[in-house]
Structure 1
Amino acid sequence: MRQVPLFPVLRTLGLVFWLSLPLIGLSFWLGSSFIGEQILSRGYDHKKYLQADSQMAWQMKKKIMAIEVETLPHKGISFVSVKTNHSTLKTMIFEFAIVEPRKLEAKLAQELGLSPERVKALIRYQPDNQ
């Protein structure tokens, strides 16, 4: 009875390649987790800060065209629509739990960064439809 040599048969099946593949995958997995941990644990110091609030308030002072208010006294809320001629921001919509005009104007002046006199000049009240 003749025996078939085992090593040449395994070589023809590509077993050397298939046995080395998991070792290569394991090394890539361990290497990438180590590199990822190093990158994610590194601190990030950025010196530039975004100052959008002050710039937006300054721009909006000049760009507000009209303020329309619809009050619903029976629900105790007011819907405010602020129309601007800003190129990207055409309308801002607010909802306040205030129905008294004086308090609403003060709150709008605070939110928009405008003077109370400017808010009074721009504001228009719509009557309740109910």
Structure 2
Amino acid sequence: MTRRWLQASGAEFWLPLPLVAIAFWFSSSFLAAQELNRPQPTENKLKADTQLEIIVSVNILLINAVVNRSQGITHVKVETAEPVLKRLELELPLTDIDQIEATLAEELGIDRREVRQWVRYQILD
């Protein structure tokens, strides 16, 4: 009678299903743990202490440099005509005009004469 009731209600199929699900869960978690604990050889390792050097060619409109001699730094804003890079901001630990121009020429990849043409200085004491 009980067996007939189990077959008629479909419980004969549904009763062992949670046991199969639990067994599947334990076995998959065991396999995942084994795979994640296995050492993975990497050929290319990331270096977090290096800086990325980007060379950008842009049309410069204006260079504003605010030289703060009391703090010993210069804040530089470079405005460009490019839609992707409209403004570039730099902070230089320099207050000498010649050093600032040389550093800007090196950073922007342009000639010092071009830097002198576009730069406007504001000197704070």
TM-score by length of 2: 0.65
Pairing of 1:44-55 with structure 2 (within 5 A): 53-54=54-55
Match of 2:28 among 24, 27, 30: 30
Q: What secondary structure is seen at the aligned counterpart in 1 of 2:102? A: helix
**Letter in structure 2 aligned against 1:53:** I
Match of 2:70 among 54, 66, 74: 74
Aligned length: 110
Counterpart for residue 16 of structure 2: 19
Counterpart for residue 99 of structure 1: 95
**Letter in structure 2 aligned against 1:17:** W
TM superposition shift of 1:13 = 8.3
1:14-69 superposed Cα distances (whole Å, 9 cap, x missing partner): 374243235246537729849x87xxx6989xxxxxxx934xx2x31xx1111010
RMSD between aligned residues:
3.5
Counterpart for residue 122 of structure 1: 118
Aligned-residue identity in percent: 20
* Structure 2: segments with no counterpart, 5+ residues: 44-52
Counterpart for residue 48 of structure 1: none
Q: Identify the structure with the greater helix proportion.
A: 1
Inter-CA distance 43–65: structure 2 relative to 1 (3 Å threshold): same
* Structure 1: segments with no counterpart, 5+ residues: 45-51
